[in-house]
């Protein structure tokens, strides 16, 4: 899923300051599951903003609403009348959702409440780990199901660097060395050839270095 | 004398090494530096190296995207942008500080250049962007190649009205055309350039395209010389360097000292 | 309670703090009941809200109480290890800890939110907790939301 974290309160208050009526818009998909921008978090942030405004003696109306997905226009289209009634929309979706809301309501101030952090899964309740960088050229079938692009701090492709010790990455002892994990998995499966062989420089043009990416499923496109 | 930094993302001799060789020959070069291939660590290190080799003039650029070069699969860096590069090098020179804030003992003595493109959009923002670059640290400006001289003049007028031409040396860019085909190619395929139809027609109707191209370049330099706020020209005779002196002389520019 | 310098001005000392107490049905609520039967006295301005378990508390309940003018809010659950639902009181503890952070980042004192643990038999302790919380809030002064 796409993982996000709420922005620092100072930033949020600064964004909200010029507005008097704000729609706090949650998203029911990834950010609900990662406990960053679903209905519950909307309720909490809305209460915080109201308390702050009241404390400061400011007029601030916060409307709370959560839609199924902010990344698909059918859902975003449904909130038209709510958006029309406010000065600004503070979206608690990932950056994708924020951009679609901004695209569909270009005349409104659209404010991001979250920092979109990465794509990953939870390793325990409340802790998520980055697993995929969307590089557009997957090697997981070769790398024992562990992504070296994402989980190696240097995105190395030819095995661990000299900083790998006791299974830990040189940048932080809380980070496991992805290549240690890859090595163990490949070894146990008798598939070390890939790791032993020279891997040429990667094609990063599919990974965002080639510019903004677009995916077209030609069979689905309606002319 | 500008030394490009892997222009159009094609691997070339390092601009710093080439610039150092020019200095040995008694020519003062402008070394170009892009943010495409280096992060802030490498750039600052290279700048210290450049300064140690006697390089003073550095043109701070973003750099052409590697998609256009001979290594389109490369990962680009763009850790900082050209605006940040100017500010970073200015702070190294004026504040004796690295980007992180750490102090250095000996500062690199630099004369910082930036690019400006009056032919890119949105036009109104181009003057604002020039102001930002000056504020970030630009001592001189090299413009994109000028064919649409009216648009350049409009941009220059706006820059002058904003008081910018007194703060920076502006060099107008001149790229001599070799043929009508080249003119059409630049117009249609090169992002951020404008070639008016009148120029294309002149090239098309000329009996000697190359001579016409030189003639247009000379006329452009002469027009630029008369403009208030233009301090010089930058002649980019791409793979046609031997024509630079012909253009310069034709336009009545003073002869440069030292080897050409 | 952490030492905190609070300027006590004339008037604030006299004010009667309004406290909302979210009480677990199996301990604090029963203790409150017992305190009543035993005729133990404690400040009357506490509003007790019964929850099936302290773990049922939502951060929004705590914030809503503050938003509506409470000077302090508290959650009272079973003694650690004694939750009727195994670990509800631990969940409550985490939520209260988080709520403290949330109120602090918008400029309220985190001491206005607190978690207490007791058993159903501890009527005396219940009265004591209410007195403790009332005194703490009295020192902090009225909620800044009430000035309007």
Is C24 in contact with C51 (CB distance < 8 Å)? yes
Whether C28 has its CB under 8 Å from any CB of chain A: the answer is no
Domain membership of residue C1 (yes or no) is no
**Residue A203 half-sphere exposure, CB side, CA atoms within 13 Å?**
8
Whether C103 has its CB under 8 Å from any CB of chain A: the answer is yes
Q: Model confidence at A132, in pLDDT bands (50, 70, 90)?
A: very high
- List the structure tokens of B112: 């910082």
Residue of A nearest to C103 (CA): A48
Domain membership of residue C41 (yes or no) is yes
Q: Model confidence at A223, in pLDDT bands (50, 70, 90)?
A: confident
Alpha-carbon distance of B186 to B181, in angstroms, equals 9
CB atoms inside a 10 Å sphere around CB A142:
16
Q: Looking at the structure, give the CATH architecture of the domain made up of residues A2-118.
A: 3-Layer(aba) Sandwich (3.40)
**Residue A122 half-sphere exposure, CB side, CA atoms within 13 Å?**
11
Range of the structural domain that residue C59 is part of: 19-147
CB atoms inside a 10 Å sphere around CB C79:
12
Residue A146 CA to its chain's centroid (Å): 19
Own/partner pairs for A172-178, CB < 8 Å, 24+ apart? A176/A151, A177/A152, A178/A146, A178/A147, A178/A148, A178/A150, A178/A151, A178/A152
Residue C8 is predicted with a pLDDT of: 42
Domain membership of residue C92 (yes or no) is yes
A47 vs C148: CB contact, 8 Å cut-off?
no
Whether B256 has its CB under 8 Å from any CB of chain A: the answer is no
Q: What percent of chain A has pLDDT over 70?
A: 100
- List the structure tokens of B241: 């360097």
Is C118 in contact with C130 (CB distance < 8 Å)? no
Task: Please say if the pLDDT value at position C9 is more than 70.
Answer: no
Residues 115-144 of A with CB under 8 A from C: none
CB atoms inside a 10 Å sphere around CB B257:
8
Interface of A with B (CB under 8 A): 201-205, 207, 209-211
Alpha-carbon distance of B144 to B186, in angstroms, equals 12
Query: CA B243, B244, B245: angle at the middle one, nearest 5?
Result: 95
Is B214 in contact with B247 (CB distance < 8 Å)? yes
Which residue blocks in chain B are alpha helix, DSSP H? Answer: 15-24, 40-52, 82-94, 123-136, 149-161, 180-189, 197-205, 209-226, 244-250
CB atoms inside a 10 Å sphere around CB C13:
10
The pTM of this model reads 0.87
Nearest CA to C6 out of C115, C136, C144 is that of C136
A203 vs B67: CB contact, 8 Å cut-off?
no
Instruction: Indicate the DSSP class of residue B39.
Output: -
Chunk chain B into consecutive blocks of 10 residues (it has 260) and report each block's average pLDDT, rounded to whole numbers.
Answer: 93 97 96 96 98 98 92 94 96 98 97 96 92 96 96 97 97 96 93 93 95 96 96 94 93 66
Q: Is B121 helix (H, G, I), strand (E, B) or coil?
A: coil
Q: Looking at the structure, give the CATH architecture of the domain made up of residues B2-176+229-240.
A: Alpha-Beta Barrel (3.20)
Whether C36 has its CB under 8 Å from any CB of chain A: the answer is no
Residues 6+ apart with CB under 8 A from B116: B126, B129, B130, B133, B141, B142, B143, B144, B170
Residue A33 is predicted with a pLDDT of: 97
Pick A211's closest partner by Cβ from B67, B74, B75: B67
- List the structure tokens of B107: 């500062």
Phi-psi label, residue B6: left if phi above 0, alpha if psi -120 to 50, beta otherwise: left
Residue C13 is predicted with a pLDDT of: 61
| Residues A59-64, mean pLDDT to the nearest whole number | 97
Select the more confidently predicted residue: A89 or B257. A89
Nearest CA to B226 out of B195, B253, B256 is that of B253
Residue B258 is predicted with a pLDDT of: 44
Rg of chain C over Cα atoms, rounded to whole angstroms, equals 15
> How does pLDDT run across A164-194, given as a tens digit for each residue?
989 999 999 999 999 999 999 999 999 999 9
The CATH number covering residue C32 comes to: 3.40.50
Domain ranges of chain A: 2-118, 133-207
> How does pLDDT run across A112-121, given as a tens digit for each residue?
999 999 999 9
Residue B259 is predicted with a pLDDT of: 42
A211 vs B75: CB contact, 8 Å cut-off?
no
User: A141 CA to chain C: closest CA distance, Å?
Assistant: 40
Number of domains making up chain C: 1
Q: In what order do the strands lie in the sheet with A61-67?
A: A61-67, A21-27, A88-91, A109-112
Interface test with A, best of B76, B79, B191 (most A CBs within 10 A): B76
User: A207 CA to chain B: closest CA distance, Å?
Assistant: 8
**Quick one: angle between helices B180-189 and B197-205, nearest 10?**
160
- Cα dihedral C26, C29, C32, C34 sign: negative
Domain ranges of chain B: 2-176+229-240
Task: Please say if the pLDDT value at position C29 is more than 90.
Answer: yes
* Residue recorded with tokens 């010029």: A18
Alpha-carbon distance of B37 to B136, in angstroms, equals 21
Residue C7 is predicted with a pLDDT of: 43
**Residue B161 half-sphere exposure, CB side, CA atoms within 13 Å?**
8
Is B76 in contact with B39 (CB distance < 8 Å)? no
């Amino acid at each position: 899923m796409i993982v996000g974290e709420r922005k620092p309160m100072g930033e949020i208050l600064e964004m909200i300051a010029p507005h008097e009526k704000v729609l706090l818009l949650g998203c029911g998909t990834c950010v609900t599951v990662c406990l960053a921008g679903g209905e519950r978090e909307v309720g909490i942030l809305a209460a915080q903003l109201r308390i702050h405004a009241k404390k400061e003696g400011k007029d601030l109306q916060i409307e709370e609403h959560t839609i199924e997905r902010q990344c698909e226009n059918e859902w975003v289209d449904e909130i038209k009348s709510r958006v029309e009634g406010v000065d600004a929309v503070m979206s608690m979706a990932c950056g994708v959702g924020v951009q679609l809301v901004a695209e569909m309501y270009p005349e409104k101030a659209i404010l991001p409440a979250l920092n979109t952090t990465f794509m990953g899964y939870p390793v325990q309740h409340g802790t998520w780990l980055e697993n995929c960088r969307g590089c557009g050229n997957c090697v997981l079938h070769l790398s024992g199901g562990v992504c070296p692009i994402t989980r190696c701090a240097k995105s190395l492709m030819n095995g661990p660097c000299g900083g790998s010790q006791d299974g830990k990455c040189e940048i932080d002892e809380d980070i496991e060395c992805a290549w240690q994990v890859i090595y163990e998995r490949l070894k146990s499966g008798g598939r070390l050839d890939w790791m032993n062989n020279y891997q040429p420089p990667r094609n990063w043009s599919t990974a965002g270095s080639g510019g903004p990416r677009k995916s077209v499923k030609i069979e689905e496109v309606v002319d | 004398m500008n030394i490009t930094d892997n222009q159009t993302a094609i691997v070339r001799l390092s601009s710093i090494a080439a610039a150092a060789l020019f200095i040995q020959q008694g020519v003062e070069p402008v070394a170009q530096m892009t943010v495409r291939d280096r992060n802030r660590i490498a750039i600052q290190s290279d700048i210290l190296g450049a300064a140690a080799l006697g390089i003073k003039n550095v043109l701070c650029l973003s750099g052409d995207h590697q998609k256009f070069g001979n290594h389109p699969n490369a990962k680009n860096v763009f850790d900082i942008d050209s605006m940040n590069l100017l500010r970073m090098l200015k702070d190294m020179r004026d504040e004796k500080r690295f980007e992180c804030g750490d102090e250095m003992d000996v500062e690199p003595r630099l004369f910082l250049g930036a690019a400006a493109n009056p032919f890119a959009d949105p036009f109104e923002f181009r003057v604002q962007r020039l102001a930002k670059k000056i504020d970030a640290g630009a001592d001189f400006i090299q413009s994109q190649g000028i064919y649409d001289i009216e648009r350049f003049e409009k941009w220059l007028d706006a820059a002058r009205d904003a008081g910018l031409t007194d703060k920076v040396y502006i060099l107008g860019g001149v790229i001599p055309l070799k043929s009508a085909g080249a003119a059409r190619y630049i117009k249609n395929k090169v992002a951020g350039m404008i070639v008016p139809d009148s120029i294309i027609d002149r090239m098309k109707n000329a009996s000697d395209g190359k001579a016409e191209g030189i003639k247009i370049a000379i006329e452009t330099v002469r027009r630029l010389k008369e403009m208030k706020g233009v301090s010089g020209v930058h002649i980019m005779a791409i793979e046609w360097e031997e024509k630079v002196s012909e253009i310069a002389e034709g336009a009545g520019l003073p002869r440069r000292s030292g080897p050409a | 309670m952490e030492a905190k310098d609070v300027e006590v001005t004339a008037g604030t000392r006299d004010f009667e703090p309004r406290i909302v107490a979210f009480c677990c049905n199996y301990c604090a609520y029963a203790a409150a009941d017992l305190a009543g039967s035993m005729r133990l006295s404690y400040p009357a301005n506490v509003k007790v809200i019964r929850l099936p378990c302290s773990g049922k508390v939502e951060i929004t309940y705590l914030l809503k109480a503050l938003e509506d003018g409470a000077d302090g809010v508290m959650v009272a659950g079973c003694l650690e290890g004694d939750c009727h639902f195994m670990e509800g009181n631990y969940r409550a503890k985490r939520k209260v800890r988080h709520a403290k952070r949330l109120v602090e980042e918008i400029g309220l004192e985190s001491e206005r939110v607190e978690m207490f643990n007791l058993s159903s038999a501890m009527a005396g302790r219940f009265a004591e907790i209410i007195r403790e919380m009332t005194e703490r809030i009295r020192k902090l002064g009225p909620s800044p939301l009430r000035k309007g």
